[in-house]
Each structure stands twice: as structure tokens, then as C-alpha cells.
Amino acid sequence: MKWSQCHIYTSKEAPADAEIASHKLLVRGGYLKKLAPGIYTYSHLLLRSIRKFEALIRDELNRCGCTEVLMPVVHPSSLWEETGRWTEMGAGLLKFQNRNQHWFCLAATHEEAVTDYIRHDIKSYRDLPRNIYQIQTKYRDEIRPRFGLMRCREFIMKDAYSFDANQADALKSYEQMYAAYKAIFSRLGLEFRIVQADAGNIGGSQTHEFQVLAEAGEDSLLVSTSSDFAANIEVAPAIDPESVKESTEVFLPIEKFPTPNLKTIAQLSEALQIKKSELVKTLFYSTNEGFDPKDKSLKPIAILLRGEDDANPVKIKNVLGLVNPPLMLTDEEVKEVTGAWPGSCGPVELKIPIYMDTGVSKLKNFIVGANEDGFHLKNVNESRDFKATQIADLRMAKEGDLCPSGQGVLKAYRGIEVGHVFYLGTKYSKKMQATFLDKNGKAQPLEMGCYGIGVTRTVQAAIEQSHDVDGIVWPKSIAPFHVHICALDVKNEKLMALVRQVEYELEASGLEVLVDDRDERPGVKFKDADLLGMPIRISIGARGLEAGEVEVVERKNKVVHKVAPQEVVAKVQSLIKEL
């Protein structure tokens, strides 16, 4: 294909809102154009990559018996009300009314739609198993879209849904999809980890995320140094290194003391010369999820943590059985609940539920805020001075913590969540009366699983993992074209004849070729070729032509091979094969 037909417009500068390399390169290469925050047009070149990734996904899914369909993007509210997610999804679900004042939303996910689709058809255990998928646009009204296709509002997802007669079969379907995902991301050629994860508001009990490793990733992962344990930090159990022992001290008398201007754990630790790990901080959250718009009450809870630990909102959500991670109270709300501003608050005489992290349960005679501005209490002990509603693991695990498998310690990585598999059980089928008749003629709810791949996010993740200072280095699996020919003098008829011949021969051998046919200087063309990142560049110039030489350059390592025109195809094929 000719550059002049492709609508390619590169630029030297990246826009100010592009923070990470892959986003900058996509915009600079003209691959991506913003229409509104989180909403993009994909250029012809990017679409070629997206389509290639989709083809790879289809190949693996069709191989294991999945069936492709295409469901609507616009859903009626009644469908989502059946499962309660019309309200539970919160503001992420974009809702609107049509001309008849009926409510609809743009699909953020399709559990409801697919369950509705199959419940009319599946009657008997003989209809099972089924695995139905689609590759389609999703809309999520993300609060802060950023990083281009990584966290956008409109994006392409592959979503699959399995239906089985019982749990054992449903777990088999889960394993099958797990294996298919492994094959998909391996064929893509990316470095990834499979980690235990939280089910979010999709629900379900068993779930794994597929994470592409990259420093710019939004997710924190903890991976064992010696076993195959790997988890998203959201769910990784926090187990202290062995050095942290339970205190054997006896309870001392509680004492109030002034701490003017000492508000943070760091300030207290320095002024009192006490380790942060021996100070206890109190954080406040609201468990009112706002599903009932009339209920404006706060429903506050307190969380106790050691000074150096961070609260894990997903663990708090799971311990309390909430649908979404809770939000922290504002300073004003904390003042209303405790009588003091944050920094001077603590659990003693607090009239709200108190959840204590397991790390704090090892401490005795600790220091907390006195619920009076400028004062703290020392020698505070649970059971004597306050009663914890529950003691649980509520903190973020961190690098160096012990691995839950008992072998090794945890090492931290950053990741981009590209895929997610869930075992759902009967969460949706029960609420939506999606049943089948079992062998005894008894109606049973269908056992379900759901499986997503962020198609557009993955394509950008590939760039995040594979680029250099000059531009993108596409993995062969999803490169828009295999070969980029730079025609260095478009007015030279003889040269252009050779360009056409090389293009023709390469295409005849099954390779995809982009020809830069612009009347531009070689330097401009080379820079653009590096930026766009096709695996192989061929440069055909007048001087080379005289010498009977064509340059074949590998994008990955910039190695230059000078070959005769008639050897180009064989050379390119062998280089591509090695990639």
C-alpha cells in the first residue's frame, strides 16, 4: 500500500496530555486521534494492528469451541435492573433517555445481555456447554481517562461467556479459557504474568488477571521469588517478614499527652522517636454505597493500621461485603464523627465500627489520636480501651513480605491488565431466571463464567513493552505492515520501477508492504519509518541502485544488510522468520 493513500500524518511533538511512551508514540505516529477525552479514532494503520490481534483471538477461541455473536451496545434499563447493576455500576454506566423517555445505557459489559440472549434458547442440559463471545465496543464513563487506549471511555473488548450444567463443568470451561488466553498472549509475543485478582463488580469467586509487565502499568503485582504464587496487590495477603514478632509487654496505664502540630505519622515518629511501625493510625471510610439516592447518611467505619502500612480498599470492601471499594471521609466528615480533625483521631470511645488490621493486633501499649485536636493517647490496647468489630488483613502487602505459599518472599512488578477471567457461578442466572432442565427434569440455574480481553488496551500495551527512543518496535504478530519501503527518489523512474517490483514480490510472498512514496528527503522518511515501527525497512536510493544494492534494515536493532535487488525477498523472509 502507498503512504499517499493511507492518510498518515506524523508529528515531532506529543500532546501535553500524553504521559507515557506508548501514548506519545501512538499520537506522534498519527495512529490515534482524540475526538473527546477518552474517545479516539483509530487510524488505518492502527486498525490493521487491532484487526490482526482480533484475528489471533478468534483463531484461539474458535479452536476451543467458542461461538462468535454481536450484541447491542445500547441496553434498556430493565435488563440491568434485573441484576441490580443499574445502580451498583454507579456513574461508570452512561445512561440516557430516548424520545419516549425510556432509560437506556451504553454497554459497559455484557453479562446481562448475553444471559438474556441465551435464556430464551437453552432449555435442557443437552444444550450445554456453550461459550459465546463477541469483539465489540464498550463504553465506560471513566472518571479520569488517561494514557490513551489504556484507560479510555470507548474501547474494543473481546468478551466471552460460558454456560454449563454444574460447577465442575463451569470450572473446566474456566480452565479452557485460561489456557486459550495463555496461548493468545504468548502468540502476541508479550511478557506477561497471570495473577490472582479481585472480581470487582462483575462478581464471582475465582478470577485471574493477565498482566503485561511494564513500568507504566497502573496495577501493582506481587510475585513470589520461589513459587508460582502471583497476585494483584489488591488481593495479595499481607504476611510480615519473620522479624515482626508479637509484643509480650503487659498493659500499661493509658495516658493522654499533648502533641501540638504533630499530625502525620512521620511527624509523630520523629518527635517521639518511635518507629512508624509502632504507631497506629486511624482512617475513616463511608460504607454507604449511595445506591439509594434518598439515603444521604454516612455509615462511617474506622480502620486501624500500623503507621507505615497502607490501607487496601479492595480488602476492606471484601471484608465488609461491599459491592465497591469504600470512599474515605472528608476532613469535615471526620471532624463530625470524632470531634477532631484528621491527625488527632483514634479508636478510644469511638461510637462507630472499628476494623483492625492484623498488623496492629501484634502491638501493645501503642499510640493513637485522642479524638481531641492536638492530643494523643499512649499505652492504648485493644480489648481494654476499645473493642474491634473485626480483626482482618486490611493492608497492602509489599515487596519483601512472605509469600503465602510458604516459599520465598514477594517481589513487586508493575502491570497492565489486558485480560481477566472470572468464574461467576449462578450470580446472574439466578437473578435473571436463566435455567435449564437437568437429567432429572428439574430446573437448575446455569453455571456461568465470563472472560474479557481489552483489545485496544493490549495493542497499546504491546507498544509500551516494545519501543525505543526513536519510536515503536511492533511485535511481528500485530505490526500494521511487515515491511516499510522508503523510496528515496520518487522522481527517478528506474528507481520507482524497482520499488514496485520489490513491493510486488514481497506481497506475492505473503508479506504486507507500506511504500513511502512521498517526495520527501531521506532523513524525514527514515525518521518516520523508525517512529511507525514496522519490523523491516527497505531503503531504495539512486546511489544503491547504481551499485546494485538495496538496504534492508531491522527495526529492532537497526542492523543494516546490503543485498542485491533479486535477493531482497529471501532476505526479508528470513529476517521476519527470526523475529
Binding site for Mg ion (CB under 5 A): 420
3-state per-residue secondary structure call for 92-119: HCCEEECCCCCEEEECCCCHHHHHHHHH
Cα-based torsion angle of the residue sequence 131, 136, 141, 145 in order, rounded to the nearest 10 degrees: 110
Our CB check for ligand ATP shows the closer of 136 and 492 to be 136
User: CB under 5 to 8 A by kind: which of Mg ion, ligand ATP, none does 313 bind?
Assistant: none
Our CB check for ligand ATP shows the closer of 185 and 526 to be 185
Please choose, out of 51-59, 283-291, 365-373, 411-419, the segment that lies near ligand ATP by the rule CB under 6 A: 411-419
Q: Hey, what long-range contacts does 423-427 have (CB within 8 A, 24 or more apart)? A: 423/170, 423/171, 423/174, 423/204, 423/205, 423/206, 423/207, 423/449, 424/111, 424/202, 424/203, 424/204, 424/448, 424/449, 424/450, 425/167, 425/170, 425/204, 425/205, 427/203, 427/204
User: CB under 5 to 8 A by kind: which of ligand ATP, Mg ion, none does 155 bind?
Assistant: ligand ATP
Residues 413-442 that bind ligand ATP (CB under 6 A): 417-420
Our CB check for ligand ATP shows the closer of 419 and 480 to be 419
Annotate each residue in 81-120 with x if it binds ligand ATP (CB under 6 A) or - if it does not, as one string.
----------------------------x-----------
Among 113, 157, 301, 576, binds ligand ATP (CB under 6 A): 157
Q: Is 322 in the site for ligand ATP (CB under 6 A)?
A: no
Our CB check for ligand ATP shows the closer of 194 and 202 to be 202
Among 217, 404, 454, 533, binds ligand ATP (CB under 6 A): 454
Mapped onto helix, strand or coil, the DSSP state of residue 362 is helix
- In sequence order, which ranges of 151-294 are alpha helices (DSSP H)? 167-188, 265-272
- In sequence order, which ranges of 479-538 are alpha helices (DSSP H)? 493-508, 522-532
Mapped onto helix, strand or coil, the DSSP state of residue 247 is coil
Among 457, 482, 555, 556, binds ligand ATP (CB under 6 A): 457
Beta strands in 202-279 (DSSP E): 206-213, 219-224, 230-232, 255-258
Q: Which residues pair with 283 in a beta bridge?
A: 303
Report d(CA 61, CA 83) in Å as an integer. Answer: 28
Query: Least separation, in Å, of the C-beta of 509 and Mg ion?
Result: 41
Cell of 406: 510458604
φ/ψ of 128, rounded to 5, equals -110, 160
Phi-psi region of 106 (alpha: psi -120 to 50; beta: other; left: phi over 0): beta
Report d(CA 193, CA 184) in Å as an integer. Answer: 13
Query: Least separation, in Å, of the C-beta of 112 and ligand ATP?
Result: 14
335-352 burial code (b ≥16 CB/10 A, e <16): bebbebebbbbbbbebee
Among 48, 151, 317, 482, binds ligand ATP (CB under 6 A): 151
Our CB check for Mg ion shows the closer of 453 and 529 to be 453
Residues 182-221 that bind ligand ATP (CB under 6 A): 200, 202
Q: Is 50 in the site for ligand ATP (CB under 6 A)?
A: no
Mapped onto helix, strand or coil, the DSSP state of residue 355 is strand
Please choose, out of 175-183, 312-320, 322-330, 412-420, the segment that lies near ligand ATP by the rule CB under 6 A: 412-420
Size of the site for ligand ATP (CB under 6 A): 16
Mapped onto helix, strand or coil, the DSSP state of residue 386 is strand
Our CB check for ligand ATP shows the closer of 157 and 279 to be 157
Q: Is 142 in the site for ligand ATP (CB under 6 A)?
A: yes
Our CB check for ligand ATP shows the closer of 108 and 576 to be 108
Q: Which residue has the CB atom at the shortest distance from ligand ATP?
A: 454
Query: Least separation, in Å, of the C-beta of 239 and ligand ATP?
Result: 25
Query: Least separation, in Å, of the C-beta of 475 and ligand ATP?
Result: 17
Annotate each residue in 264-293 with x if it binds ligand ATP (CB under 6 A) or - if it does not, as one string.
------------------------------
**Taking Cα atoms as reference points, which of 510, 372, 490 lies closest to residue 500?**
490
Task: Give residues in contact with ligand ATP (CB under 6 A).
Answer: 109, 140, 142, 151-152, 155, 157, 200, 202, 417-420, 452, 454, 457
